[in-house]
Protein backbone atom coordinates (compact mmCIF):
# COMPACT_ATOMS: atom_id res chain seq x y z
CA UNK A 1 0.00 0.00 0.00
CA UNK A 2 1.30 3.43 -0.93
CA UNK A 3 0.55 6.19 1.57
CA UNK A 4 0.98 9.84 0.64
CA UNK A 5 2.26 11.85 3.61
CA UNK A 6 1.70 15.57 3.34
CA UNK A 7 1.03 18.70 5.38
CA UNK A 8 1.75 22.38 5.03
CA UNK A 9 4.84 24.41 5.81
CA UNK A 10 5.67 24.24 9.58
CA UNK A 11 2.98 21.65 10.44
CA UNK A 12 5.56 19.01 11.38
CA UNK A 13 5.48 16.66 8.40
CA UNK A 14 9.24 16.01 8.62
CA UNK A 15 8.86 15.08 12.29
CA UNK A 16 6.09 12.63 11.38
CA UNK A 17 8.27 11.14 8.61
CA UNK A 18 11.11 10.58 11.10
CA UNK A 19 8.69 8.84 13.49
CA UNK A 20 7.58 6.54 10.66
CA UNK A 21 11.21 5.66 9.91
CA UNK A 22 11.71 4.80 13.60
CA UNK A 23 8.92 2.23 13.13
CA UNK A 24 10.79 0.76 10.12
CA UNK A 25 8.28 2.10 7.61
CA UNK A 26 10.14 3.07 4.40
CA UNK A 27 9.71 6.76 3.57
CA UNK A 28 10.52 8.14 0.12
CA UNK A 29 11.10 11.86 0.55
CA UNK A 30 10.18 14.12 -2.40
CA UNK A 31 12.34 16.94 -0.96
CA UNK A 32 15.44 14.72 -0.86
CA UNK A 33 14.81 13.63 -4.44
CA UNK A 34 14.17 17.22 -5.54
CA UNK A 35 17.58 18.19 -4.10
CA UNK A 36 19.30 15.29 -5.88
CA UNK A 37 17.86 16.24 -9.27
CA UNK A 38 19.22 19.84 -9.07
CA UNK A 39 22.81 18.94 -8.25
CA UNK A 40 25.44 20.58 -10.50
CA UNK A 41 25.45 19.18 -14.02
CA UNK A 42 21.90 17.80 -13.91
CA UNK A 43 19.40 18.58 -16.70
CA UNK A 44 16.96 20.08 -14.15
CA UNK A 45 19.54 22.57 -12.83
CA UNK A 46 20.46 23.61 -16.36
CA UNK A 47 16.77 24.17 -17.14
CA UNK A 48 16.38 26.29 -13.97
CA UNK A 49 19.35 28.46 -14.97
CA UNK A 50 17.95 28.91 -18.51
CA UNK A 51 14.53 29.86 -17.11
CA UNK A 52 15.45 32.06 -14.13
CA UNK A 53 18.90 33.38 -15.05
CA UNK A 54 22.46 32.97 -13.74
CA UNK A 55 21.67 34.79 -10.47
CA UNK A 56 19.96 31.61 -9.15
CA UNK A 57 23.27 29.69 -9.42
CA UNK A 58 26.10 30.07 -6.86
CA UNK A 59 29.64 30.60 -8.21
CA UNK A 60 30.43 26.96 -7.29
CA UNK A 61 27.66 25.77 -9.66
CA UNK A 62 25.12 24.83 -6.96
CA UNK A 63 21.55 26.12 -6.83
CA UNK A 64 21.05 29.38 -4.94
CA UNK A 65 17.81 28.38 -3.21
CA UNK A 66 17.33 31.76 -1.51
CA UNK A 67 17.57 33.71 -4.78
CA UNK A 68 15.21 31.25 -6.48
CA UNK A 69 12.83 31.37 -3.50
CA UNK A 70 12.64 35.16 -3.70
CA UNK A 71 11.46 34.84 -7.30
CA UNK A 72 8.97 31.98 -6.99
CA UNK A 73 7.32 32.79 -3.65
CA UNK A 74 6.13 36.14 -4.97
CA UNK A 75 5.14 35.08 -8.47
CA UNK A 76 2.59 32.38 -9.25
CA UNK A 77 3.74 31.99 -12.89
CA UNK A 78 7.37 31.57 -11.86
CA UNK A 79 6.38 28.98 -9.28
CA UNK A 80 4.48 27.03 -11.94
CA UNK A 81 7.47 27.18 -14.27
CA UNK A 82 9.78 25.85 -11.57
CA UNK A 83 7.34 23.07 -10.68
CA UNK A 84 7.12 22.14 -14.37
CA UNK A 85 10.87 21.54 -14.40
CA UNK A 86 11.17 19.66 -11.12
CA UNK A 87 7.97 17.70 -10.58
CA UNK A 88 8.01 15.28 -13.54
CA UNK A 89 11.51 14.07 -12.64
CA UNK A 90 10.68 13.79 -8.92
CA UNK A 91 7.54 11.76 -9.71
CA UNK A 92 9.46 9.40 -11.97
CA UNK A 93 12.11 8.72 -9.31
CA UNK A 94 9.54 8.26 -6.52
CA UNK A 95 7.58 5.70 -8.55
CA UNK A 96 10.82 3.86 -9.31
CA UNK A 97 11.82 3.69 -5.63
CA UNK A 98 8.32 2.70 -4.45
CA UNK A 99 8.16 -0.06 -7.05
CA UNK A 100 11.52 -1.44 -5.91
CA UNK A 101 10.44 -1.47 -2.23
CA UNK A 102 7.15 -3.18 -3.07
CA UNK A 103 8.97 -5.76 -5.18
CA UNK A 104 11.20 -6.41 -2.15
CA UNK A 105 8.06 -7.23 -0.12
CA UNK A 106 7.40 -4.01 1.82
CA UNK A 107 3.66 -3.98 2.77
CA UNK A 108 3.50 -0.19 3.37
CA UNK A 109 5.54 2.47 1.57
CA UNK A 110 5.18 6.15 2.48
CA UNK A 111 5.66 8.83 -0.17
CA UNK A 112 6.50 12.08 1.63
CA UNK A 113 5.17 14.74 -0.77
CA UNK A 114 4.85 18.29 0.65
CA UNK A 115 2.78 19.61 -2.30
CA UNK A 116 0.76 16.45 -2.93
CA UNK A 117 -2.58 18.25 -3.40
CA UNK A 118 -1.14 21.35 -5.07
CA UNK A 119 0.57 19.14 -7.67
CA UNK A 120 -2.45 16.88 -8.23
CA UNK A 121 -0.54 13.74 -7.18
CA UNK A 122 -3.36 11.98 -5.34
CA UNK A 123 -3.32 9.31 -8.08
CA UNK A 124 0.18 8.21 -7.01
CA UNK A 125 -1.02 6.87 -3.64
CA UNK A 126 -3.73 4.64 -2.16
CA UNK A 127 -4.37 6.82 0.90
CA UNK A 128 -3.39 10.27 2.09
CA UNK A 129 -2.19 11.20 5.58
CA UNK A 130 -2.09 14.90 6.47
CA UNK A 131 0.00 16.27 9.35
CA UNK A 132 -2.16 19.04 10.76
CA UNK A 133 -1.90 22.04 13.07
CA UNK A 134 -4.31 25.02 13.15
CA UNK A 135 -3.19 27.89 10.89
CA UNK A 136 -2.43 30.28 13.78
CA UNK A 137 -0.02 27.74 15.28
CA UNK A 138 1.45 27.06 11.83
CA UNK A 139 2.24 30.78 11.39
CA UNK A 140 3.69 31.05 14.89
CA UNK A 141 5.95 28.01 14.35
CA UNK A 142 7.10 29.27 10.96
CA UNK A 143 8.00 32.71 12.32
CA UNK A 144 9.88 31.19 15.26
CA UNK A 145 11.66 28.53 13.19
CA UNK A 146 12.75 30.76 10.28
CA UNK A 147 12.79 34.15 11.99
CA UNK A 148 10.31 35.44 9.40
CA UNK A 149 8.33 38.65 9.57
CA UNK A 150 4.55 38.35 9.67
CA UNK A 151 4.42 39.06 5.91
CA UNK A 152 7.14 36.53 5.00
CA UNK A 153 5.36 33.83 6.99
CA UNK A 154 2.02 34.79 5.44
CA UNK A 155 3.46 34.69 1.88
CA UNK A 156 4.83 31.20 2.39
CA UNK A 157 1.61 29.90 3.94
CA UNK A 158 -0.48 31.46 1.16
CA UNK A 159 1.72 29.84 -1.51
CA UNK A 160 0.22 26.48 -0.53
CA UNK A 161 -3.29 25.10 -0.24
CA UNK A 162 -4.62 25.88 3.26
CA UNK A 163 -3.95 23.32 5.97
CA UNK A 164 -7.70 23.20 6.70
CA UNK A 165 -8.46 22.21 3.08
CA UNK A 166 -5.78 19.51 3.22
CA UNK A 167 -7.20 18.18 6.48
CA UNK A 168 -10.65 17.87 4.87
CA UNK A 169 -9.23 15.92 1.91
CA UNK A 170 -7.20 13.49 4.05
CA UNK A 171 -7.94 9.82 4.71
CA UNK A 172 -5.85 10.05 7.88
CA UNK A 173 -5.23 13.19 9.98
CA UNK A 174 -2.21 13.30 12.29
CA UNK A 175 -2.82 16.15 14.74
CA UNK A 176 0.59 17.63 15.59
CA UNK A 177 -0.62 20.54 17.71
CA UNK A 178 0.09 18.75 21.01
CA UNK A 179 3.25 17.14 22.35
CA UNK A 180 5.66 15.05 20.29
CA UNK A 181 4.65 12.07 22.40
CA UNK A 182 0.99 12.53 21.41
CA UNK A 183 2.00 12.69 17.74
CA UNK A 184 4.17 9.58 18.14
CA UNK A 185 1.25 7.67 19.72
CA UNK A 186 -1.09 8.59 16.85
CA UNK A 187 1.46 7.44 14.26
CA UNK A 188 2.13 4.21 16.12
CA UNK A 189 -1.61 3.38 16.25
CA UNK A 190 -2.02 4.25 12.58
CA UNK A 191 0.95 2.06 11.47
CA UNK A 192 -0.33 -0.90 13.55
CA UNK A 193 -3.73 -0.52 11.89
CA UNK A 194 -2.24 -0.35 8.37
CA UNK A 195 -0.10 -3.42 8.92
CA UNK A 196 -3.07 -5.41 10.19
CA UNK A 197 -5.18 -4.69 7.08
Q: Are strands 27-29 and 109-112 parallel, antiparallel or unpaired?
A: parallel
21 marked ligand binding residue: no
84 marked ligand binding residue:
no
Q: How many whole angstroms separate alpha carbon 189 and alpha carbon 111? A: 19
DSSP 42-59: -HHHHHHHHHH-GGGB-T
CA distances from 56 to 28, 105, 137, 159 (A): 27, 42, 32, 20
**Residue 13 is labelled as binding a ligand:** yes
- Residue 71: helix, strand or coil by DSSP? helix
Q: Is 144 annotated as a binding residue?
A: no
Q: Is 10 annotated as a binding-site member?
A: yes
159 is in an annotated binding site: no
Binding-site residue numbers for ATP are 10-15
Q: List the binding residues.
A: 10-15
Amino acid sequence: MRIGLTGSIATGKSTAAEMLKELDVPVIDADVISREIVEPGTPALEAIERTFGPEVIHPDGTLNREALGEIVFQNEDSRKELNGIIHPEVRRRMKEKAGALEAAGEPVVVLDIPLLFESGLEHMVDRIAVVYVPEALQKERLRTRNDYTEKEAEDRIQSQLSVETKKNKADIVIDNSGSLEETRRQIHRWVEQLKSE
